[in-house]
Each structure stands twice: as structure tokens, then as C-alpha cells.
Amino acid sequence: MSEDRDEGAGTNPGSPRVAILHDRFPGIGGGEAFAIEAARVLDAPIYTAYVAEGTEIPEDVTVIPFRQSKYTALPFGPFLEWKNEGMNPFETLNVALDMTDAHPELGEYDVILESAPLSKYYVPDVDQRIVHYPHSPPRWLYDLYRDRLASFRRPGVEAVIKGYAKLWRALDKEANDYVDRFVANSELVRDRIRRYYDEDATVVYPPVTGDWRNEGDEGYFLTWSRLAPEKRIDLIAKAFTRLDERLVIAGDGQQREAIERIAAGHDNIEVRGYVEDIETLVARCRAVVYAPKQEDFGLVGAEAMSAGKPLVGVNEGFTTYQVEPGVTGLRFEPTVGSLRETVRAFDSRDFDSREIREVAERYRYERFERDLREVVEEANTANEGENG
């Protein structure tokens, strides 16, 4: 992490000066990992509102937090902490407001690559070009709006939440005026951008990194992710309570105790918690089971396929795009019964590891590099043409 700009970043002769604007670093999740890899590919610094304590930034990447003390120190820090998967309204509002002017040095760049939804509130200079990679339009405002609203069915509270969401929806769409080019991380998110913003988007898959490989089949099914409700690991565990197949669950999170209670008394289900060397666990599994709710991209699925492992995936979200029945895996409906039937019908002999890896070529790092650079160059060329 750096408080000063690296003068060498993004200054290759003949290339546009590029900066990454990522809303905040509450840890290293999928959005933060994307920002880091984009910074490496584009030789660009990352500007962000703040970096939460304990977040480890790679030494080869320059991250410039321009409101660090506001979010991490007294008197405001305790009120502006990242909470409930980002659903702290005070923190969200403040990050959006701080994005509007962000850092004065951003005016020196030709192209701003915005990572994550709140970065869209940056107000650019006239001659700058904005490439926006939102990961998804804010789901609590759109496709998950009714689900979130259902948890606030109390007199008076529901009306306040509806008004709050309506205001944010208007602000979210107004900020689209600053964007020159939308980029989606999957066809599903491209469709959401079309539906909710009436804008087209170029698909650039996030890159798969790591040592993904196939070392055979040791007879267990595997699932891993944050143990959060939207990942539906509990559904997977319940399905295996009446199956003879082994299931290994890796990951940690708010549902861990509940999942351990489901697994209790079932010798075929093992809850390992966080596993650092997940690649080796994947390399030796029979197949990966994945059941997230309307997943935007699904890095777990991409990593499983990169290892040449079949994906037993839920038939919704981007997972539907990833699973080609009989080629890369099998699909199931998001019910315990459907998953049980699918696992019983699964036969590893029906799948070719090499063929699965060929399909996973779309997630290769080299393709990510090529596609991301192409989008930035096209945005900059359009700017030069208009100024010429």
C-alpha cells in the first residue's frame, strides 16, 4: 500500500495513461483480486477510498487509499466499517460520495478503469474516458431487491427501505452518464446491464490464477466457497446426508456452525474449514459441486474446469453457462432432491478431463490480458478520434 503515486505506473511510451479506481478494499475478494490483476496487466496504480486493516496488498501493486483515516480511525471509523457484506448504508453512501472527486491525481490519466459498482460515481474530466467493470449492477437494487425487501416486513420499516432503494436506483442510473464503455465479467452480467441500464457491454472474463491440475480421483465430491447463505452450501450438505458418496466442504463463514450441525452424525460429510492449498484438494476430487444463487461469474466453477474436473452445477446464474451437460458436468435444480438425483446419476467415466480443460481456455490469463488491453486501447482511440 502506498500513499504516493508511483511515477512509473502506466507510463509506457505510446500507451494511454491508465489508472484503476476500485471503490474500497475491505479484504481480498473477487472484486479486489480483479483490480489487482488489472493493475498488473495495465501497469497502472489503484486508487481506492480505503484499505481495511489486515488486508494484504501484493508488493508489486501500487494501491493509493485517499480517505484511509476517515474509514479506519476515530471518530468516524466505527460508523463506517464494512458490515454485512457491504450493507452498511453509512459506509456505502460515504464511499459513493468520496468517489465523485476521488483523488486529484486521477485527472492526469487518459483512461480510468473503474472496478466495482460504487466507482462509477467518479466525475471525469472532459477529455478522459471511463471504462466501467461493475462485476454486476447492484443486486440489492435490482434482481435481488424483492429478496432483500422480504427481510424487512415490519410496519414502517418496509416503506423506508423502499424509499431508500428508489433513491439509490435513481443515483445509480444517473452515474451511467459518466461511463463511455461497460465491461461485464460474464454473459449473465452483460444481460443485467442491458436490462437495467439499457447499455451494451463487452464480456471480459476474470482470469483464473493458481496451480489447477488433475491428480486423479480419490472418491470424494468437493465444494468450497465462503459459507454464506447465498452460496447454498447447506443445501449441498443436506443432499449428501442421504447419499453414500463422500463430500468434503472447504471454506469458512457465518454458516459454518449450521453446516457442521447438518454434517454431524454423517461420516461421509467432512467440514474442513478454510483450506489454503485448495488446488491439491481439487486435483484429487471426483467432481466439484456448486450451488450459488444467481452467481455473477463463479470463479469456483472456472477453477474446477481449469483443473479438468467435472462441475455438478446449479441450473441458474452464470453456472448455467459454465455447465455443458455431458461435456463439462451436470446441472441440477436448486433443491435437495434434484441434487441427490444428479449425484446418483453422475459417472466420472462420462467426462474427459482434457475436453473440460479445453472449454476452460476461455478463462486463461493470457486471454484476460489481451481482452482487457483491447478494451482500454479502444476507449482511448475513441477519445483521440473525438479530440482530433
Question: How many angstroms separate the CA atoms of 145 and 31, rounded?
Answer: 21
pLDDT at 3: 44
pLDDT tens-place string over residues 247-263: 999 999 889 999 999 99
Question: How many angstroms separate the CA atoms of 71 and 351, rounded?
Answer: 50
Give the mean model confidence (pLDDT) for residues 202-212: 93
Cα dihedral 257, 314, 308, 284 in deg (nearest 10): 30
pLDDT tens-place string over residues 157-187: 888 889 999 999 999 999 999 999 999 999 9
Whether the CA torsion 19, 25, 30, 33 is positive or negative: it is: positive
Q: Is the pLDDT of residue 11 over 60?
A: no
Q: Which domains does the chain have, with CATH numbers?
A: 18-207+366-387 (3.40.50.2000), 220-363 (3.40.50.2000)
Give the mean model confidence (pLDDT) for residues 263-272: 96
Question: How many angstroms separate the CA atoms of 18 and 16, rounded?
Answer: 6
pLDDT at 13: 54
Q: Which residue has the cell 446449479?
A: 314
Question: How many angstroms separate the CA atoms of 240 and 246, rounded?
Answer: 8
pLDDT at 146: 86
The pTM of the full predicted model, rounded to 2 decimals, is 0.83
In DSSP terms, which residues pair with 314 in a beta bridge?
332
Residue-wise over 40-52: b if at least 16 C-beta within 10 A, else e? Answer: ebbbbbbbbbbbb
DSSP state letters, 202-230: EE-PPPP-S--------SEEEEES---GG
Distance of CA 316 to the CA centre of its chain: 16
- Between the CA of residue 303 and those of 58, 89, 135, 136, 311, what are the distances in Å? 21, 33, 18, 20, 10
| CA nearest to 202, candidates 321, 324, 34, 374 | 374
